[in-house]
Amino acid sequence: MMHHVIVSGLGPAGATLLYELASRGYDVVGIDRERFPRYKSCGGCISTKIDTIEGLDISHLIETPVYGAIFSYRQTRYVDILSDEPVGYNVKREVFDNYLVERARKAGATVVEGCKVEDFVEGSHHIEVICEGGRTFRAEFFVCADGAGSLVARKHFSLNPREFGISCTMEIPTSEEETEKMLGALFIDFGEVPHGYAWIFPKKGLLSVGMAGESKRCRGRLRGDFEKFLKNHRVLAGKALNGKVHGWMLPIYHSDGHPVIRPRAMAIGDAAHLVDPFLGEGIYYAIASARVAGEALVEAIEKNTTGFAPYREYLRRKLYPEFRALVKLSDLVYGHPRLWYRMVEKEPAIMLRYYDVIRGRESAQEFYRWVLSKVTRKPWKLLRSWLEDRFLSTG
């Protein structure tokens, strides 16, 4: 049987795309190797940019709105930087992702669970998708949305583990009364892990704790750094820290180019390296990329075209320039976490302005230019001389 589109992976990217197409009457099949609801290692904080996604109401899935963070440097100094308006929303991923899959199913999509996609073969008029055990599906188009562990994206779309962030997470149950007092703020610590940060995201009766850093610099030491963080952060004092530690990957954007489009197939979400390289935000980008991919697929089906121009343009003109600015920002911040911490401690307005980037009200490119000009005007001597070496001389 020939379908319009087959989607591999039903996280936020795949499930959103499935819904977009099924609700317009297209014959779509979504395949996931897991059965829903399923666990996903994640902080579960979605930026308020999600509110700009038309037709997606997540208000009933929000555990708590987030107004900012309590930042620390190696768990020694702490500064509260909270804003009057939400920056993000905390959700439980198993609940959030399950909702998106059910929404797609109700819209008429076929959902195949417990089936692992292994490869695809692209012909000039159709695509054959090959699953574990030799089961196959045929469609006009294929979308790879099966995340950071995707073998298909490694083979066909240059998903590159050498450019990943790596992470450790633990869920620590606690009393609702305790988290009640913390709700509204995240805890973010700089400096304990190379080129990354550690976090505690409070949910009702639960602390989602994690640490992530660049794989090249953290491999072999992340677990030890994570244990140190668990032992030393003031919020975790006296807690039983014997939960399961989950390790997972963050396919952050990097600047080497990401071929994610073939004539009849494309990758979206994590499988396309669409994770913000500064904070590791990926849920919004998974959903946003799926929406644009949906438009591109409708055009391809209706006009019998290939190559997905709207998606290509979205990446090239909108997303990648922002991500490139965030690569520079993360070099600046994670290269000198102590100096960065001092800057935001002294001038919380820097972070408050960054919250507007997270909200999607200001571009990362503008923010980066502003921080750079600030740094060169202020007496942050060490940082300034480093910047002159690394950035200003090359423009």
Ligand X SMILES: Cc1cc2nc3c(=O)[nH]c(=O)nc-3n(C[C@H](O)[C@H](O)[C@H](O)COP(=O)(O)OP(=O)(O)OC[C@H]3O[C@@H](n4cnc5c(N)ncnc54)[C@H](O)[C@@H]3O)c2cc1C
Minimal distance, residue 194 CB to ligand X, in Å: 16
Minimal distance, residue 146 CB to ligand X, in Å: 4
Member of 4, 5, 8, 229 binding ligand X (CB under 6 A): 8
Q: What is the CA radius of gyration of the chain?
A: 21
DSSP secondary structure letter of residue 352:
H
Q: Which is nearer to ligand X, 12 or 86 (CB)?
A: 12
Q: Which residue has the tokens 């319009």?
A: 4
Please tell me the number of Cα atoms within 13 Å of 79 on its side-chain side. Answer: 16
Give the pair of three-digit tokens for residue 370. 């502003």
Per-residue interface string for the shown chain with ligand X, residues 239-268, x marking contact by CB under 6 A:
---------x-x------------------
H or E element, residue 93: helix 93-106
User: Total number of residues binding ligand X (CB under 6 A)?
Assistant: 41
Q: State the residue number with the nearest CB to ligand X.
A: 282
Note whether 77 and 341 are within 8 A (CB): yes
Q: Which is nearer to ligand X, 165 or 380 (CB)?
A: 165
Stretch that binds ligand X, among 53-61, 281-289, 361-369, 381-389 (CB under 6 A): 281-289
Member of 13, 81, 200, 207 binding ligand X (CB under 6 A): 13
Integer Cα distance of 46 and 360 in angstroms: 12
Q: By CB under 6 A, is residue 33 in contact with ligand X?
A: yes
Q: By CB under 6 A, is residue 103 in contact with ligand X?
A: no
Q: By CB under 6 A, is residue 212 in contact with ligand X?
A: yes
Note whether 125 and 142 are within 8 A (CB): no
Integer Cα distance of 215 and 148 in angstroms: 13
Member of 24, 74, 116, 338 binding ligand X (CB under 6 A): 116
Minimal distance, residue 212 CB to ligand X, in Å: 6
Stretch that binds ligand X, among 55-63, 269-277, 340-348, 372-380 (CB under 6 A): 269-277
Q: By CB under 6 A, is residue 27 in contact with ligand X?
A: no
Q: By CB under 6 A, is residue 283 in contact with ligand X?
A: yes
Q: By CB under 6 A, is residue 12 in contact with ligand X?
A: yes
Q: By CB under 6 A, is residue 14 in contact with ligand X?
A: yes
Member of 20, 27, 32, 214 binding ligand X (CB under 6 A): 32
Integer Cα distance of 183 and 186 in angstroms: 8
| E-strand stretches of the chain | 2-8, 28-32, 45-47, 64-66, 68-73, 77-82, 88-90, 110-113, 117-122, 127-131, 136-144, 165-173, 185-190, 196-203, 206-214, 246-250, 265-267
Note whether 139 and 126 are within 8 A (CB): yes
Integer Cα distance of 395 and 389 in angstroms: 11
Q: Which is nearer to ligand X, 265 or 375 (CB)?
A: 265
Residues in contact with ligand X by the rule CB under 6 A: 8-14, 31-34, 40-46, 116-117, 145-150, 167, 169, 210, 212, 248, 250, 269-270, 275, 280-284, 286
